[in-house]
Amino acid sequence: GRRCVPLSAFEDTRSSHNRRLAKLGQPPLHLEEMVAARLYTGPLYTKYNGVLRGNLDLTRHNLYTTTLICINSAIIKLAHLTEAVRIYRGISGGVLPPSFWSANEFKVKGAVDTAFISTTTNREVAM
């Protein structure tokens, strides 16, 4: 389960990431970005994704603008440190919609999610 962890517990990891980012000529991960990314990994992800999917009733019309910008910035920065691996995404009901498989008039098929998506390297977790 989740437990309270002081921000100081993440400082060594953030410093390590920042050293690696610097070697790649990338800007550092700021404390605010780390905090926002950490918040996303908990129950607040539902509120943040609710805003991005237009469900403002879920968030009582809070837009979390600054937090969402910080999460996005963290993702962009940390992507430079990410190894390409196979990932899985669980979907509601376990079935993709027909539009995912059938091309539209522009010969496009697939899906777009306006929110951040959570994935896992563990196939069983996604199923």
pLDDT in tens, 9-42: 999 999 999 999 999 999 999 999 999 999 999 9
**66/114 same-domain check:** no
**23/47 same-domain check:** yes
Buried b (16+ CB within 10 A) or exposed e, 38-73: ebbeeeeeebbbbbbeeeeeeeeeeebeebbebbeb
Q: How confident is the model at residue 92 (pLDDT cuts 50, 70, 90)?
A: confident
Q: Which domain-ending residue is among 67, 82, 97?
A: 82
Q: Which domain holds residue 13?
A: 1-82
Q: How confident is the model at residue 98 (pLDDT cuts 50, 70, 90)?
A: confident
**110/75 same-domain check:** no
Question: What are the distances in angstroms from CA 23 to CA 15, 16, 19, 28, 81?
Answer: 13, 11, 6, 10, 11
Number of domains, the chain: 2
**4/61 same-domain check:** yes
Please report where in the chains the tokens 């993440």 appear, as a residue: 10
**71/113 same-domain check:** no
DSSP 33-45: HHHHHHHHTTTTH
94 three-class SS = helix
CA dihedral 7, 10, 15, 18 (to 10 degrees): -100
What pLDDT sits at residue 87? 93
**68/105 same-domain check:** no
Residue 106 predicted with pLDDT over 90: yes
**59/99 same-domain check:** no
Q: How confident is the model at residue 118 (pLDDT cuts 50, 70, 90)?
A: confident
Hey, how many other C-beta atoms are within 10 angstroms of the C-beta on 12? Answer: 9
Summarised one tens digit per residue, pLDDT across range 39-72 is: 999 999 999 999 999 999 999 999 999 999 999 9
**68/56 same-domain check:** yes
CB 127 within 8 A of CB 90: yes
**2/44 same-domain check:** yes
**46/89 same-domain check:** no
71-87 average pLDDT score: 97
**39/91 same-domain check:** no
